[in-house]
Amino acid sequence: MKRIVVIGAGRSSSSLLRYLLNESEAEGWEVLVADRDEALARSKINGHQRGDATGFDAGNSEKRRELIAGADLVISMLPASMHIDVAGDAIHFGVPLITPSYISKEMRSLDEAAKAKGVLLLNEMGVDPGIDHMSAMKIIHDIQKKGGELIRFESFTGGLIAPESDNNPWHYKFTWNPRNVIMAGMGGTAQYIQQNRLKYIPIHKIFERYKDIDVEGYGTFEGYANRDSLSYRKTYGLENVPTIYRGTLRGKGFCEAWNVFVQLGITTEDFEVDCRKMSWRDFINAFLMYDPELPVEEKLQNFLNLSEEVMEMLRWTGIFENTPVGLEHATPAKVLQHLLEDKWKLEPDDKDMIVMWHRFDYLKDGQEHEVHSSMVAIGETQTYTAMSETVGLPVGIAAKMILNGQLSLSGVHLPILPEIYHPILEELESYSIRFTETTIR
């Protein structure tokens, strides 16, 4: 019997645990789930005879060592910054580790030690990062294998609301961490390369410079630039590809309306507003010029030259209402989050949707070719969401491959190698996570 230890039983672990328990009999596994909240961990096991739960505080290094020493494989579903201690123990006890998170500097620095011990630390195994790498690298390698020269790579992913649950003018609800949505684009200047020219978009222009993306069968989305597209040149081995652009997808109309919040200055965390006596209307007015003659709506519309459509989206959020903000001192971003958490709340039957879209242009035999590849996943329930499925399944499949001895790698890795991505993409198809390729020319 092989023991898999899963650390962290939060909502992104649901589909992973379902997969591991479903496979456990056939594969001869037992699955131990460790979480600060033992009852939560136990509820995710749901009485399965191959599963067990234990309480575990991530700061308890003795318990952590005990858990890892007794494991054949460890999966860390903790917040990204907390993987590093797990990775250190995994190397020490010679136990392979999987995480769904970006490789941090600290994680990368463990590469040599992991190789010396013959231990695999497999990261970026979720959806973004994860399935994005796998699905893109598969096509890039195919193009290279048949002698094509990649000249353009674009890649967009969005965590959205499913069409059947889409009943607001923003075509958006919080299906994931609201704070990340509010702070989107605020991390710094976006960097990409177009026709060999480095291109930079400052924070306050990111939502103005979005582009339309057509996804077959799902209509048009808007893609805004992620902070760093340039680092993918090295990760994917595309140093000489003249155009590389990565971004995030939103529904049609979202970017122009969200840009209003950015332009107003209410997506920042750089100071606190005293909103004890403020209505929503006062809050918005505080970011507009003083002019007692003009109503707030008119000031805002003039300030940013807004269409009636955008005004309608803004009105829908309630920012022009005379109701109290209901917070005391908070950063503008927290005030905005407070407003939208109410408006963009999921209803009990709502389903989420993950949309991923890639574009590859390449030269072959003097001809220019263009291929699009897209994947849309829709959640089953609010436990087995599209996010949980697309994060958890690749992690689970990778676990199976490692325990079956299918991956003879050591050191720090991410899924850009054919031996990793081929079997995973194949098995994902049986869970309806599949890419559709369209040849444009």
Q: Is 279 in the site for a second copy (CB under 8 A)?
A: no
Sole window of 13-21, 263-271, 306-314, 321-329 interacting with a second copy (rule: CB under 8 A): 263-271
Q: Nearest 5°: CA angle at 11, between 36 and 163?
A: 165
Report the alpha-carbon distance of residue 100 to residue 11 in Å, rounded. 13
Task: Check if the beta carbon of residue 120 is closer than 8 Å to that of residue 94.
Answer: no
Q: Is 334 in the site for a second copy (CB under 8 A)?
A: no
CB of 232 to a second copy, least distance (A): 16
Q: Is 197 in the site for a second copy (CB under 8 A)?
A: yes
Q: Is 82 in the site for a second copy (CB under 8 A)?
A: no
Comparing CB distances to a second copy, the nearer of 305 and 408 is: 305
**Of 154, 173, 215, 149, which Cα lies nearest the Cα of 438?**
215
Q: Is 332 in the site for a second copy (CB under 8 A)?
A: yes
CB of 209 to a second copy, least distance (A): 7
Q: What are phi and psi of 352, to 5 degrees?
A: -95, 175
Report the alpha-carbon distance of residue 361 to residue 369 in Å, rounded. 5
Sole window of 27-35, 38-46, 285-293, 389-397 interacting with a second copy (rule: CB under 8 A): 285-293
Task: Check if the beta carbon of residue 79 is closer than 8 Å to that of residue 36.
Answer: no
CB of 289 to a second copy, least distance (A): 7
Neighbours of 104 (CB within 10 A): 16
CB of 202 to a second copy, least distance (A): 3
CA distances from 226 to 145, 190, 222, 232, 423 (A): 29, 6, 13, 12, 29
Report the alpha-carbon distance of residue 399 to residue 396 in Å, rounded. 5
Task: Check if the beta carbon of residue 354 is closer than 8 Å to that of residue 390.
Answer: yes
CB of 341 to a second copy, least distance (A): 22
Start-end of H helices in 118-240: 131-145, 178-182, 232-235
Neighbours of 352 (CB within 10 A): 24
Sole window of 167-175, 186-194, 312-320, 386-394 interacting with a second copy (rule: CB under 8 A): 186-194
Q: Using the rule CB under 8 A, which residue among 47, 292, 348, 405 binds a second copy?
A: 292
Report the alpha-carbon distance of residue 59 to residue 89 in Å, rounded. 13
Comparing CB distances to a second copy, the nearer of 167 and 231 is: 231
H or E, element range at 197: strand 197-201
Sole window of 6-14, 24-32, 172-180, 184-192 interacting with a second copy (rule: CB under 8 A): 184-192
DSSP state at residue 33: E
Start-to-end C-alpha separation, the chain: 52
Comparing CB distances to a second copy, the nearer of 332 and 415 is: 332
Q: Using the rule CB under 8 A, which residue among 104, 168, 194, 382 binds a second copy?
A: 194
The CA-based dihedral angle spanning residues 244, 248, 253, 259, taken in that order and rounded to the nearest 10 degrees: -90
CB of 281 to a second copy, least distance (A): 12
Number of residues that bind a second copy (CB under 8 A): 31
Task: Check if the beta carbon of residue 323 is closer than 8 Å to that of residue 264.
Answer: no
Sole window of 68-76, 115-123, 185-193, 307-315 interacting with a second copy (rule: CB under 8 A): 185-193
Q: Is 301 in the site for a second copy (CB under 8 A)?
A: no
Sole window of 63-71, 72-80, 194-202, 372-380 interacting with a second copy (rule: CB under 8 A): 194-202
Q: Which amino acid is at 385?
A: T
CB of 165 to a second copy, least distance (A): 33
Comparing CB distances to a second copy, the nearer of 129 and 332 is: 332
Comparing CB distances to a second copy, the nearer of 75 and 213 is: 213
Q: Is 200 in the site for a second copy (CB under 8 A)?
A: yes
Q: Using the rule CB under 8 A, which residue among 63, 152, 205, 369 binds a second copy?
A: 205
Comparing CB distances to a second copy, the nearer of 147 and 202 is: 202
Neighbours of 315 (CB within 10 A): 13
Q: Using the rule CB under 8 A, which residue among 62, 146, 198, 349 binds a second copy?
A: 198
Q: Is 271 in the site for a second copy (CB under 8 A)?
A: yes
CA distances from 49 to 31, 72, 352, 399 (A): 10, 19, 30, 19
Sole window of 65-73, 82-90, 267-275, 314-322 interacting with a second copy (rule: CB under 8 A): 267-275
Sole window of 46-54, 138-146, 202-210, 409-417 interacting with a second copy (rule: CB under 8 A): 202-210
Provide the strand spans (E) within 259-388.
Answer: 273-274, 329-330, 352-364, 367-378
Question: How many residues belong to the chain?
Answer: 441
Report residue 440 as tokens.
Answer: 């444009």
Residues near a second copy (CB under 8 A): 188-189, 191, 194-195, 197-205, 209, 263-265, 268, 270-271, 273-274, 282, 285-287, 289-290, 292, 332
